[in-house]
Amino acid sequence: MVGMLHRKIIRPLLQEIYQDDPWKMLVCCILLNLTKRQQVDEVRHKLFTKYPTEYDMIEANEDELADILQPLGLYKKRAKTLIKMSWQWVNGFSDVMELHGVGQYAKDSWEIFQMNNTDIKPTDKVLLEYMWQEGVLNE
């Protein structure tokens, strides 16, 4: 990690905020795909007020969900992804990567914040900076 530029990241991370609610944490990871934290912050309160649990998300009206997600872009795709991931969540999974919409960022977040596994090398700069700030990653 020599030469890594340390940058200011918004703390707490969404993964820290929702560490005690793994489903919401994964929802945030999915929402962060191809968008900025500030944009997710603008919609997450409304999203989790209307759909506070995975069971509520499964029952979501796709158009209403897409309306909430509209400021993030890709809102129709995101709505479908969140409903499908939530259905899979409720029905069980053995590896978080089995869940629809979960990519490497969400997998690394799961390892760090749900499995307490800091013996990974995330590719995401924010996760790397978080690990450095927490003292679990040396330059």
In the structure, what pLDDT confidence band is assigned to residue 1 with cuts at 50, 70 and 90? very low
- Provide the residue ranges of all domains of the chain, joining segments of one domain with +: 14-133
Structure tokens given for 99: 């869940």
d(CA 42, CA 32): 12
Instruction: Domain 14-133: give its CATH superfamily.
Output: Hypothetical protein; domain 2 (1.10.340.30)
* Whether pLDDT at 14 is above 70: yes
Q: Does residue 11 surpass a pLDDT of 70?
A: yes
DSSP 51-112: --SHHHHHT--HHHHHHHHGGGS-HHHHHHHHHHHHHHHHH--SSGGGSTT--HHHHHHHHH
The Cα–Cα gap between 131 and 1 comes to 12
Average pLDDT over residues 15-22: 98
pLDDT of 26-85, one tens digit each? 999 999 999 999 999 999 999 999 999 999 999 999 999 999 999 999 999 999 999 999
> Which positions are annotated as active-site residues?
124
- Residue 20: CB atoms within 10 A of its CB come to 10
